[in-house]
Amino acid sequence: MKRLRFQYHMKLSFSNKVCNHRFTLKCIPRDTDSQIIENYSVSVYPDHINSENIDSHGNITLFGYAGEYHQSFGFDLEGVAITGLSEYEGAKELHKVGMYRYQTQITEPGEKLKSFHKVILSSEKNSSTDSTAHLIMQKIYEKLTYKQGLTVMETTAEEVLNKGGGVCQDYAHVMLAICRMEKIPCRYVTGMMLGEGSSHAWVEVWDDNKWIGFDPTNNKRVDDEYIKISNGRDYSDCLVNQGIFIGNVIQNQEISVFVYEEVNDKND
List, for residues 152-200, the tens digit of each pLDDT value. 999 999 999 999 999 999 999 999 999 999 999 999 999 999 987 889 9
Cα(240)–Cα(191) distance, integer angstroms: 10
pLDDT of residue 68: 94
Cis peptide before 46 (omega within 30 of 0): yes
CATH number corresponding to 89-237: 3.10.620.30
Share the mean pLDDT of the chain: 94
Residue 19 three-state SS: strand
Max CA separation in the chain (angstroms) = 61
* Location of each CATH 3.10.620.30 domain in the chain: 89-237
pLDDT of residue 73: 96
Model confidence at 125, in pLDDT bands (50, 70, 90)? low
Candidates 108, 216, 190; CA nearest to 156 is: 108
Model confidence at 204, in pLDDT bands (50, 70, 90)? very high
- Region 64-77 average pLDDT: 95
Assign domain 2-84+240-261 one CATH number from 2.60.40.2250, 3.30.70.260, 3.40.1380.10, 3.30.1180.20: 2.60.40.2250
Q: Is the pLDDT of residue 267 over 70?
A: no
Rounded to a whole number of angstroms, the CA Rg of the chain reads 19
pLDDT of residue 154: 95
Model confidence at 265, in pLDDT bands (50, 70, 90)? low
Q: For residue 15, what is the enclosing H or E element?
A: strand 2-25
pLDDT of residue 266: 53
Listed range (118-127, 128-137, 231-240) with the worst mean pLDDT:
118-127
- Region 137-162 average pLDDT: 96
Residue 114 three-state SS: helix
Q: Is the pLDDT of residue 3 over 80?
A: yes
* Location of each CATH 2.60.40.2250 domain in the chain: 2-84+240-261
Model confidence at 217, in pLDDT bands (50, 70, 90)? very high
Model confidence at 50, in pLDDT bands (50, 70, 90)? confident
pLDDT of residue 115: 96
